[in-house]
Amino acid sequence: MNLIISGTNRERSNSLKIAKYYQQELQRKGESWELLSLSDLPSDITVTDLYGKRSEAFKSIQALVSAAQKFVFIIPEYNGSFPGILKVFIDACSFPASFFHKKAALVGVSTGKYGNIRGVDHFTGVCNYMRMHVLPLKIHLSKVHDELDGDDQLIDELTTKFVQEQISEIARF
């Protein structure tokens, strides 16, 4: 089993739209991919699931993470980096079993011009610390609101080409 993580707890986010697009396309490649939106995290996670504590609400999330062999992180830009809730999520997961020696693909998302290049670089450092194997091809979706149609499908040919290239590499990874 593999897991796509929409890296924000913002409801109806562009990150979740992109995560669903990746799930749809990766499943076409014949692999099993679950989707986790960080909006599904317990609202009191900083009290209930850090520093060795484990709530009932987080147990099923931890089970998904533990079972996953590959991850796709959809990472929106928050203040020039990645969202704090993504770091809280990583910190809440069991260490080192959750991520050590597993594979990760990274996708930056922003409404601005650069597709969260800096945030993806910052998160790459976190992945490296956790000894994850990071796919070298990283995608940066800038002006994401212009990239999606009404059915949340990518509309730009060049963007679709690069995303499909990454999806093919994830499937082989």
Number of domains in the chain: 1
For the chain, the residue count is: 173
pLDDT for res 52: 85
Please give the share of the chain, as a percent, with pLDDT higher than 90.
96
**What average pLDDT does this structure show over 31-60?**
94
Predicted pLDDT at 66? 97
The residues, ordered by sequence, that sit 6+ positions from 74 with a Cβ below 8 Å of its Cβ are 4, 5, 6, 7, 15, 16, 18, 19, 22, 107, 109
pLDDT at 80 > cutoff 90: yes
Q: What is the pLDDT of residues 83-124, one digit of tens each?
A: 999 999 999 999 998 999 999 999 999 999 999 999 999 999
Q: Is the Cα dihedral 64, 55, 6, 86 positive or negative? A: negative
Q: What is the mean pLDDT of residues 26-39?
A: 95
**Residues with Cβ within 8 Å of residue 62, at least 6 apart in sequence:** 54, 93, 94, 98
Which CATH number is 158's domain given?
3.40.50.360
Domain enclosing residue 52, as ranges? 2-172
Q: Is the model's pLDDT at 151 over the cut of 90?
A: yes
pLDDT tens per residue across span 88-98: 999 999 999 89
Q: How far apart are CA 127 and CA 129, in angstroms?
A: 5
33 DSSP assignment: E
